[in-house]
Amino acid sequence: MDSPPTSRMTSDRARSPVGGERPISIAPRRTAGGWRVGWPVALAMFLVPVALLLATLFYGRLAGPPDLTIQVTDRYSAAPLAGAEITSGETTLHTDEQGLATLPVTRDSFQVSVRAPHYEPLLAEVDPAGAERWPVALRPNVVSGRLHDVESGAPIAGARISVVGPDGATLDGVSGQDGAFAFEGVPANAKLVVDAGDYGVQEQEIGQATAFDLSLKSTVVYGMVRDDLGAPLAGVRVATADGSAATATGADGAFRLAGGSGVGELLVADSGFAEQRLQIPANRQVDATLQREQIKSLYANANIVAEPGRLNELIRIANETEINAIVIDVKQDQIFYDTQVQFFRDVPNMVNPLYDVHEILDQLHQNNIYAIARMVVFKDPLVAEAYPNLAVKDEVTGGLWRDMNDAAWVNAFNEELWTANADLAAELAGLGFDEVQYDYIRFPSDGDLRTAEFGNDYTEDLRRAAITGAVALGSQETRANGAAFAIDLFPIIAIYGNDQGIGQTLQDLTPLADYVNLMIYPSHYERGNIPVDGHPNDFPAETVTYTLQRAEELVPGTMAKMRPWLQDFTYPAEGYSAYGPKEVRAQIDAAEAMGVSGWILWDAAGDFTEDALRPAG
């Protein structure tokens, strides 16, 4: 092998043992085991690389950072993006076929923007220290597609299409004659909503897709609805079972329903008739014949429902008599089942589950009993105490206004209350109740209203608008979840035709409900309310007949929706005659003679006059 090199150092001197100076040789010495390196050589071997490194760094400092290679790709596919524009200061470059571009670097940190057609642009601060390559993945921000009929393949033009971002902002468009659509500037995590009229409404997450080929199936269902005598029925509600679309029959009983999502079953319902659920056949033609039905009900307060023996007694009466329905208290001051409506769950002591609602409904339906949920709406003292801002105020004390029973009321002008109660109604319908009944849908009446402050002009028009708004929302949510919707009203509004200071009128509310329940308790009338010679309590049949006649005059056709509350109790005051089988039956017969769709007997204690009822069958 070659011998190790030698070198001489002129900067380091050593004194000779004989007193003179001489250069030091750093040549390695041969030893018995091989060559041995001396310490000067070792030092040199360390200093040379260090010097080279320092020189490199110094040169690099003078020459500046190395050029930066930028690679631009599609974020979803990882494919290179050719022609992407890269700008830094006054320098603009474009990527090649491999998505590459080399950017000269003249300083330690700088801004770079990267753009490409149909992609979300990127603006970033770049520090190139230690890196000579910068990968950039741009997100596509375009969506395009085409709509066509699944059976014929024909394009679907004129469909309303929206891209909905996570913040609710939308991009809106319409499909062209060829069924095509396109959007730019699509945000991340957006969804595509297609409202194609006869083809219904579809939603889907966009995710990483940029193109959609959507095959849609027509949702149009045609049909005819008649009664059991073959006569066409007008105004019958026809809806998809999931509530996504609804319509009503015309004067000839015909209907055309379109726009539902997942249409497979129709709900056909009309006041005074048994509801029908019908499967949609392949030809999408549905004809229905509705059977007349009277709902004849008993009332069960929450304590009765919670006691199996007492509820079983009402079920026995229903099985042995003409009774075919039970009205169950679900909300009065408290809510008596484990509701999941958060507004009410947040009110202290509001939710008091006295019974298992699923078990109760199963028991009623197993006995072919129509289940009605009764919920008090605006006489809500616990809500008023918990949320004073939603309550009627006392302008004298500054606290809560209270009625003659010292109960606080919520203020029906507050739309937050409309929504909370509509949510509860929707939940009840979803649980399986056949009908949801709104009670106390009014402003307060019993108490010194001179000190009541409602935070609004307390005019009849505004009162009526508030009650109508609350009822309309409750009706919408209840029906959308598959149940009928009923309202309990003061009979005095039928007799006098105005709102009587509480916001209720038949004219406003009858069109919004499936059933109207006037509370016709003769003992609660005053002398002179009806044209009889004496107190109405002594004229049960006449009181019922006169009240229903006035209702029919105010809103013709009301009897098809009318299901009055009737009195099955004796008013506990001196001079009031007792009510027994004769008086109870007189009311029932008078109501049925007027053509009502049913009736409800009220006794707060649940002690009903069974002898007033006809046997089953």
DSSP string covering 138-187:
EPB-EEEEEEEETTT--B--S-EEEEE-TTS-EEEEE--TTSEEEEESPP
Beta bridge partners of 519: 565
**pLDDT at position 597 over 70:** yes
pLDDT in tens, 301-353: 999 999 999 999 999 999 999 999 999 999 999 999 999 999 999 999 999 99
**pLDDT at position 6 over 70:** no
> Average pLDDT, stretch 20-27?
36
pLDDT value, residue 308: 92
Helix (H/G/I), strand (E/B), else coil: 246: strand
Cβ-count burial of 191 within 10 angstroms (0-12 exposed, 13-18 middle, 19+ buried)?
A: middle
Separation between Cα atoms, residue 512 and residue 485, nearest integer Å:
8
pLDDT value, residue 31: 42
| Architecture field, domain 221-290 | Sandwich (2.60)
pLDDT value, residue 284: 85
Fold match between 221-290 and 295-612?
no
Which homologous superfamily is 68-138 in?
Carboxypeptidase-like, regulatory domain (2.60.40.1120)
**pLDDT at position 271 over 90:** no
Q: Judge contact between 539 and 522, C-beta under 8 A.
A: yes
The encoded tokens of residue 110 equal 């700088």
Classified by CATH at the fold level, domain 142-216 comes out as: Immunoglobulin-like (2.60.40)
Question: How many residues in total does the chain contain?
Answer: 617
- Percent of the chain at pLDDT above 90? 74
The pTM of this model reads 0.70
pLDDT value, residue 262: 61
pLDDT value, residue 261: 64
Name the pLDDT band for 295 (thresholds 50, 70, 90): very high
> Average pLDDT, stretch 407-430?
97
Cβ-count burial of 281 within 10 angstroms (0-12 exposed, 13-18 middle, 19+ buried)?
A: exposed
CA 72, 77, 78, 81 torsion: positive or negative?
negative
Q: Judge contact between 148 and 179, C-beta under 8 A.
A: yes
87 versus 282: the higher-pLDDT residue is: 87
Determine the distance from the C-alpha atom of residue 417 to the mean position of all C-alpha atoms in its chain, rounded to a whole number: 16
Separation between Cα atoms, residue 478 and residue 473, nearest integer Å:
8
**pLDDT at position 395 over 60:** yes
- 100-103: strand order across its sheet: 100-103, 68-74, 133-138
Tokens 């505004």, residue?
462
pLDDT value, residue 109: 78
Name the pLDDT band for 280 (thresholds 50, 70, 90): confident
Separation between Cα atoms, residue 391 and residue 303, nearest integer Å:
28
Task: Say which residues have a Cβ less than 8 Å from residue 132's Cβ, sequence separation at least 6.
Answer: 66, 67, 68, 69
Mean pLDDT of the chain: 88
CA angle 463, 468, 471 (to 5 degrees): 130
The encoded tokens of residue 311 equal 């509820």
Task: Say which residues have a Cβ less than 8 Å from residue 33's Cβ, sequence separation at least 6.
Answer: none
**pLDDT at position 548 over 90:** yes
pLDDT value, residue 74: 96
Name the pLDDT band for 64 (thresholds 50, 70, 90): low
272 versus 178: the higher-pLDDT residue is: 178
Q: Judge contact between 4 and 27, C-beta under 8 A.
A: yes
Helix (H/G/I), strand (E/B), else coil: 488: strand
**pLDDT at position 41 over 90:** no
**pLDDT at position 108 over 80:** no
Which residue pairs from 128-131 have beta carbons closer than 8 angstroms and sit at least 24 positions apart in sequence? Answer: 128/65, 128/66, 128/68, 129/65, 131/68
Please report, for the chain, the start and end positions of each structural domain, with discontinuous segments joined by +.
14-62, 68-138, 142-216, 221-290, 295-612
Residue 204 CB neighbour total at 10 angstroms: 12
Residue 321 CB neighbour total at 10 angstroms: 19
β-strands 201-205, 265-269 pairing: unpaired
> Average pLDDT, stretch 553-559?
93
pLDDT value, residue 193: 95
pLDDT in tens, 78-93: 999 999 999 998 899 9
Separation between Cα atoms, residue 275 and residue 479, nearest integer Å:
12
pLDDT in tens, 113-142: 999 999 999 998 888 776 688 899 999 999
Separation between Cα atoms, residue 138 and residue 141, nearest integer Å:
9
**pLDDT at position 44 over 70:** no
Name the pLDDT band for 28 (thresholds 50, 70, 90): very low
Separation between Cα atoms, residue 580 and residue 613, nearest integer Å:
11
| Best CATH choice for the domain 295-612 from the list 3.40.228.10, 1.20.1330.10, 3.20.20.80, 3.40.30.10 | 3.20.20.80
pLDDT value, residue 263: 66
Helix pair angle (460-480, 415-431), 10° resolution? 30
Name the pLDDT band for 467 (thresholds 50, 70, 90): very high
pLDDT value, residue 210: 94
**pLDDT at position 144 over 80:** yes
Separation between Cα atoms, residue 84 and residue 149, nearest integer Å:
38
Q: Which runs of E-coded beta strand occur in 228-339?
A: 237-240, 246-248, 254-257, 265-269, 276-279, 285-290, 295-300, 325-332, 334-335
Q: Judge contact between 160 and 174, C-beta under 8 A.
A: yes
Name the pLDDT band for 45 (thresholds 50, 70, 90): low
